Amino acid sequence: MLLQAERESIVEFGKRISSSGLTKGTSGNLSIFDLDTRLMAIGPSGIGYYETRPEDVVIMNLEGDIVDGDKKPSSEYVLHATFYRKRPGVCAIVHTHSTYATTFASMRVPIKAVHYVIGTSGSATVPCAEYATYGTPELAENALRAMGDAKAVLLANHGLVTVGPTLAEAFSLAENAEFVAEIYYRTLAAGSPFILSDEEMDRVIGKFKTYGQPKKE
């Protein structure tokens, strides 16, 4: 089976985004890009995360052609392919409809640095892209432009997109973004949140570059 490991990883992390509450029902999607074959593995459209099997995951090229698989791909395959074409180093994407991030997306308000962990996105804010209909090239271009060099973006009236070199990192970032969105929402409800300064966030983002265990050569 073509890109079997990637297919199995998408099934595993699909269950994780569902069980963690980052998305509801069959909404959201995730993918992995293989640098060697220049192909992406992406979840199927409309199949529950706990019902998805590795063989249901669709293998596509970046022009939108199905290379392997008999299922219809996620409706957001254009968004995924656009990022892989235009953002070097991005090899995994997680798109969720998590409650608090989507609340801010629906207000078209960026998530601000009420907690330092937002720095895992490579930015002091999670910006919000201009609205476009789901599944369209316009949505993909809006998201790419708004995200810039960071790793997370809100889709207006839609949800959250996170990217990374691995699916595990993109998933972790989606969890962090939802956590900060919830804290931001709750502090706004309680009063006036104190937003960390750009100078402090520059320090935090620098520290995150060496966070965790050293990578083995």
Residues 19, 216: Cα–Cα separation, whole Å: 31
Q: Which distant-in-sequence residues (6+ apart) come within 8 Å of 199 by Cβ? A: none
**How many Cα atoms are found within 13 Å in the side-chain-facing hemisphere of 53?**
6
Active site residues: 76
